[in-house]
Amino acid sequence: MTANVPVIAIHNLHKSYGELEVLRGVDITAPKGHVVSLIGSSGSGKSTLLRCCNLLEDSQEGEILFDGNPVLWAGSGPDRRPASATQVRQIRTNLSMVFQQFNLWAHLTVLQNVMEAPLVVQKRDRAEVEAKARAYLAKVGIGDKADAWPSQLSGGQQQRAAIARALCMEPQALLFDEPTSALDPELEQEVIKVIKDLAAEGRTMIIVTHDMRMAADISDHVIFLHQGVIEEEGTPQALFGAPKSQRLQQFLSASQ
Binding site for Mg ion (CB under 5 A): 47
The option from Mg ion, ligand ADP, none interacting with 22 (CB < 5 to 8 A, set by class) reads ligand ADP
**Closer residue to ligand ADP, CB minimum distance, 21 or 170:** 21
The option from Mg ion, ligand ADP, none interacting with 180 (CB < 5 to 8 A, set by class) reads none
CB 180, min distance to Mg ion, A: 13
What beta strand segments (E) does 198-249 contain? 205-208, 221-226, 229-234
**Closer residue to ligand ADP, CB minimum distance, 13 or 115:** 13
For ligand ADP, the binding residues (CB under 6 A) are 17, 20, 22, 40, 42-48
Q: How many angstroms separate the CA atoms of 142 and 133, rounded?
A: 11
Report the alpha-carbon angle 240-246-247, nearest 5: 85
The option from ligand ADP, Mg ion, none interacting with 17 (CB < 5 to 8 A, set by class) reads ligand ADP
**Closer residue to ligand ADP, CB minimum distance, 49 or 115:** 49
The option from ligand ADP, Mg ion, none interacting with 44 (CB < 5 to 8 A, set by class) reads ligand ADP
**Closer residue to Mg ion, CB minimum distance, 142 or 215:** 215
Per the CB < 8 A criterion, the answer to whether 142 and 160 are in contact is yes
Q: How far is CA 116 from the centre of its chain?
A: 19
Q: How many angstroms separate the CA atoms of 134 and 56, rounded?
A: 28
3-state secondary structure of 53: helix
**Identity of the amino acid at 191:** V
Nearest to 11 by CA among 56, 85, 84, 68: 68
CB 135, min distance to ligand ADP, A: 32
CB 50, min distance to Mg ion, A: 8
Q: Hey, which residues does 61 pair with through a beta bridge?
A: 14
**Closer residue to ligand ADP, CB minimum distance, 177 or 190:** 177
The option from Mg ion, ligand ADP, none interacting with 87 (CB < 5 to 8 A, set by class) reads none
**Closer residue to Mg ion, CB minimum distance, 193 or 210:** 210
3-state secondary structure of 175: strand
CB 45, min distance to ligand ADP, A: 4
Q: Hey, which residues does 221 pair with through a beta bridge?
A: 36
CB 134, min distance to ligand ADP, A: 33
Q: How many angstroms separate the CA atoms of 142 and 126, rounded?
A: 20
CB 127, min distance to ligand ADP, A: 39
**Closer residue to Mg ion, CB minimum distance, 47 or 87:** 47
**8-state DSSP, 241:** I
CB 47, min distance to ligand ADP, A: 3
221-238 as b/e, with b when 16 or more CB fall inside 10 Å? bbbbbbebebbbbbebee
The option from Mg ion, ligand ADP, none interacting with 43 (CB < 5 to 8 A, set by class) reads ligand ADP
Q: End-to-end CA distance of the chain: give it in Å, rounded.
A: 39
